[in-house]
Each structure stands twice: as C-alpha cells, then as structure tokens.
C-alpha cells in the first residue's frame, strides 16, 4: 500500500482548513501541547505532553496525521496518528489537541472521522488510543466517539485504569474501536 502524504487541503466550516502537517508545524504543535490543556498537570504535565510528541512524528507519520488552520493561518487543532507497523489490522491515534476557543464545535470529531476513513482505506479494522485517567473529559469523549474501554488493573472513579502503563507513575486508560 502506498500512502499519499500530500493531500489537498480541505475547507471546514468557519473559515478553517484541514490538511496534512509538515515538519514546519512542529513548533506550533508544541505550543498547543503547552497551552491547550487548561493547565492539566501543571508545568510537569505540559512538559510530559511536549516530550510525547517529538519531531519524529512530524517527519515520519504526517501521511496519517492532520492539522487545522484558521483563516489567519493559526493552528487550532491537530491529530497525530499512524498505521501500526507490526499489527497489520491496527491503526493508532497518538495525540489529539484542539485550541480552547474551538472546543465543542466538532473539530476533534472531524479529525477522528478523517483518521478512521484513512485507516479503513489502508485496510485497518481496529484503532487504539490512550489517555490519562485525570482527563475525565477525554474518557467521556472517546466513549461518545465509539471507543470501548479496555480492562484495567485498577478502577479510578469507575474508570478502568492500567497503572504504570507508560512508566512509573504514568497510568493510562486504554481505548479500542472497530473500524
């Protein structure tokens, strides 16, 4: 299968444009990772988010990722995902962000749906992603988007959590969705 990194930008409502990212978007995505989470986890949380999206994702996985610019060319949303190299049925959504002033307008869902379509077209039948258990809005959001919660080894506020999933002190909630 050949992926097409350069796809035509697509006009969305409100003067927004969705397109594939380039490496030049890296700094703006890092800025979003710092400022778009409402201070979740403080400076340590911001640092953790930034380190989880090193530049390599904007070099090697842009053909399965999206960014959204507003009419003035400002970044207002992104989705970084990939097709699993080892699991031929699976796609993975690594990180999604939406600027606070654009939340609750369906922008995140628009990017998820585009990723689902792209993964289906590439023959994938399942998509996985994770979030932190402190991010209850994210847990609710993924459930609405059709993801099932995977079993955890503990339960936090009724949510199954895998302790130390991404390392010591980094618990995660794991989601899976059929495509």
Residues that bind its own copies (CB under 8 A): 3, 5, 27, 30, 48, 50-52, 54-56, 59-64, 82-87, 90, 92, 94, 164-168
User: In whole angstroms, how close is the CB of 26 to its own copies at the nearest point?
Assistant: 8
User: In whole angstroms, how close is the CB of 64 to its own copies at the nearest point?
Assistant: 7
Please, which residue, 30 or 68, has the CB nearer to its own copies?
A: 30
- Whole-angstrom Cα distance, residue 108 to residue 91? 17
Please, which residue, 9 or 54, has the CB nearer to its own copies?
A: 54
Q: Would you state the structure tokens that stand for residue 5, as one six-digit string?
A: 């990194």
User: In whole angstroms, how close is the CB of 91 to its own copies at the nearest point?
Assistant: 10
- Whole-angstrom Cα distance, residue 29 to residue 34? 9
Please, which residue, 50 or 103, has the CB nearer to its own copies?
A: 50
Please, which residue, 3 or 140, has the CB nearer to its own copies?
A: 3
Please, which residue, 61 or 115, has the CB nearer to its own copies?
A: 61
Asked whether 68 and 77 are in contact (CB, 8 A), the reply is: yes
Asked whether 30 and 53 are in contact (CB, 8 A), the reply is: yes
User: In whole angstroms, how close is the CB of 58 to its own copies at the nearest point?
Assistant: 10
Residue with tokens 């922008």: 107
Segments in 13-106 forming alpha helices (H): 26-35, 42-51, 57-60
Asked whether 48 and 96 are in contact (CB, 8 A), the reply is: no
User: In whole angstroms, how close is the CB of 51 to its own copies at the nearest point?
Assistant: 4
């Amino acid at each position: 299968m050949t992926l097409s990194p350069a796809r035509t930008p697509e006009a969305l409502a409100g003067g927004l444009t969705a397109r594939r990212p380039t490496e030049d978007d890296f700094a703006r995505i890092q800025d979003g990772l710092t400022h778009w989470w409402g201070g979740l986890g403080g400076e340590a949380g911001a640092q953790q988010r930034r380190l989880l999206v090193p530049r390599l994702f904007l070099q090697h996985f842009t053909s399965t990722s999206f960014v959204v610019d507003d009419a003035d060319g400002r970044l207002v949303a992104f989705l970084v995902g990939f097709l699993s190299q080892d699991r031929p049925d699976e796609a993975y959504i690594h990180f999604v962000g939406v600027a606070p002033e654009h939340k609750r307008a369906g922008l995140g869902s628009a990017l998820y749906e585009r990723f689902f379509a792209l993964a289906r077209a590439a023959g994938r039948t399942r998509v996985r992603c994770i979030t932190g258990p402190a991010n209850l809005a994210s847990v609710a959001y993924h459930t609405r988007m059709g993801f099932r919660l995977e079993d955890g080894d503990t339960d936090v506020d009724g949510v199954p959590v895998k302790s130390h999933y991404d390392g010591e002190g980094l618990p995660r909630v794991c989601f899976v969705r059929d495509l």
